[in-house]
Structure 1
Amino acid sequence: MIKLSVVGIFADLDEDALGDVERHINRKTYAAGTQIIEPEADSSDVYLILSGRVRIVNYSLSGREITLEEIGAGGCVGQLSAIDGEPRSACVFAVSNTDVGILSPSNFEKVVKSHPSVAWNVITELARIVRTSTRRIVDVSTLGANERVIAEILRRAQKVCDSDGAAILAPVPVHSEVAGRVSTSRETVARVMGSLARKGLVTKEDNGLHVPDVRRLEEFLSESIH
């Protein structure tokens, strides 16, 4: 059985405290492609990702799918509705076979109030969500579609940049997934990626998408904006 210690909000709990949390949790496995949370649903359970990966999406008025985030083992989803009691604001799918621990809203409240470190970690996670949302709003408001694609690749590269200033994005970013994250079309992503490849700013290799000079990609984005 996968231990709850893999979940980030429980990172500071000792074995006794984890045992206490475990008593409040129901475990479930979702097959890849299964919808875990429906938008506007009244349920307010919190889902702790023990293994696998989930994708959080929303839909524009025209029906276009917008990827808000992908979360792997250690993350959690659904905490907003558990906190404020409002309907779900997004849809969550299992990207791969995914094991979750499920906390009802009342049990989530008990755990948060009983363990101050969990409360602080939840606050930290909510702050991260706000920052991510703010960045996306700024990007959509100030950048064109091409620049948003480049900015997304740059952000991913900066997270895994090595000491030589290069990065490998593994696996290669899926065009439809990138398009969903930056609110554009898959065709636009393909066109931009092709342009970056021709300029030598990215190359597709067996182990992923290679960004040979992250700083150069950043400078290219800056030049494109101005």
Structure 2
Amino acid sequence: MTVIPSSPPRAISHTMFEQPSKDYRANKIFRHMSREEIEALAPSIEQRSYGKGEMILQRRDQDGGVYLLLDGLLLANQYAKSGREVGYRRITPGGYFGEISAIDGLPRSANIVAIEDSRLARLPQSSVRRLFEDSPRFMRALLEDMAGLTRSLTDRLFELTAVSVACRVDIEILRLAAANSEDGQTGVIHPCPTHAELAALLGSQREPVTRELNRLASLEIVRQTGRTLHVLDLAALAAEIERIGGEV
């Protein structure tokens, strides 16, 4: 299983620079733009590859631009002085990051770490600024996504202060499984976050997360095989969340 470092990883200097390909076009930030607008960005986009565990950006970096995830899996996190990790969100292919610093010009607000080998495309700050001024369709997608992120963080803040760790685990598993459900009844999470990663995302420790996943397995609601977590009954998981004090 993927292991998230328990202390801040160091930036690795062997990042590879490659010629850009056209698969950046599928990123959700371009979803409202015309083909011509998207194609015009090709000369300014550069691809970068990172290995598992490599630090892509560090909090307070001055590096500008927006990064688009083509392949792999990333974690946005931060470390307290005590070494405790706080996870903010996972970033999956088709997602992006860096838009906040691109907007306000301030340093990065979180670390971005590759938790799998990952391939990204970087849209430089100069190109992002031109899109701010010239592309209402780009801005529409950006504003929609920032509204969605705000709602998500509001929900997480409420959960962190109002419901138990067990309930937070169940809610997160339901979110991930529902996003990967073909029939609305079952779901598959692959790769499943490690227990340490879930703990960082949920403001907890690994042991309570493990206990809750074991409890769900004993109820035959989930089954884990390697890095894949099968949610066998989404409705039963939702009912369990309601039973122990959460909201679906």
Same fold (TM over 0.5): yes
Give % identity.
27
Cα distance between partner residues in 1 of 2:100 and 2:65: 10
CA contact (8 A) 1:25 1:103 kept: yes
Instruction: Give the structure 2 partner of residue 194 of structure 1.
Output: 214
Partner of 1:175: 195
SS of the equivalent of 1:106 reads: helix
Report what 2:106 is aligned to: 86
Map 1:44-193 onto structure 2 (within 5 A): 44-163=64-183, 165-193=185-213
Residue-by-residue CA offset, 1:124-170 (whole Å, 9 max, x unaligned): 11112111111110100101212211221122223234436222223
Q: 2 CA distance for matches of 1:202 and 1:213?
A: 8
Residue 164 to residue 185, structure 1, CA distance change in 2 (3 Å): same
Matched, 1:31 2:51: yes
Q: Which shows bigger deviation, 42-51 or 113-122?
A: 42-51
**Given the alignment, which residue of 36, 46, 57 partners 1:16?**
36
Q: Greater CA deviation, 186-195 or 37-46?
A: 37-46
Instruction: Supply the distance in 1 between the matched residues of 2:51 and 2:182 (Cα, whole angstroms).
Output: 35
Distance in 1, Cα, partners of 2:183 & 2:43? 44
Equivalent-residue separation in structure 2 for 1:34 and 1:173 (angstroms) = 17
8 Å contact from structure 1 (residues 175, 186) kept in 2: yes
Deviation, structure 1 residue 77: 0.7
Bigger proportion of residues as helix: 1
RMSD of aligned Cα (Å): 2.1
User: What SS does the corresponding residue of 1:23 show, helix, strand or coil?
Assistant: helix
Please give the alpha-carbon distance, in whole angstroms, between the structure 2 residues aligned to 1:18 and 1:164: 34
Shift of 1:209: 2.1
CA contact (8 A) 2:22 2:42 kept: no
* Consecutive aligned runs of 4 or more in structure 1 exceeding 6 Å deviation: none
Q: Which runs of 5+ in 2 are unaligned?
A: 1-20
**What is residue 244 of structure 2 aligned with on the other side?**
224
User: Matches of 1:119 and 1:19 in 2, distance apart?
Assistant: 17
TM-superposition CA deviations, 1:78-109 (whole Å, max 9, x none): 11011011221100012223222223323211
Change in 2 beyond 3 A, CA 1:6/1:184: same
Q: Take 1:27 and 1:162, find their aligned partners in 2: how far apart are those partners?
A: 32
Q: Distance in 2 between matches of 1:164 and 1:11?
A: 25
Tell me what 1:211 maps to: 231
Cα distance in 2, alignment partners of residues 164 and 222 from structure 1: 18
The code of the aligned residue for 2:189 comes to: L
State the Cα distance separating 1:198 from its structure 2 match.
Answer: 1.4
Match for 2:230: what amino acid?
A: H
Shift of 1:61: 5.0
Residue type matched to 1:223 in 2? R
State the distance in 2 between where 1:124 and 1:95 align.
Answer: 27
8 Å CA contact 1:50, 1:101 repeated in 2: yes
CA apart distance, 1:205: 4.1
Q: CA 1:42/1:15 → structure 2, altered by over 3 Å: closer, same or farther?
A: same
Aligned to 2:6: none
Q: Give aligned pairs, total.
A: 226
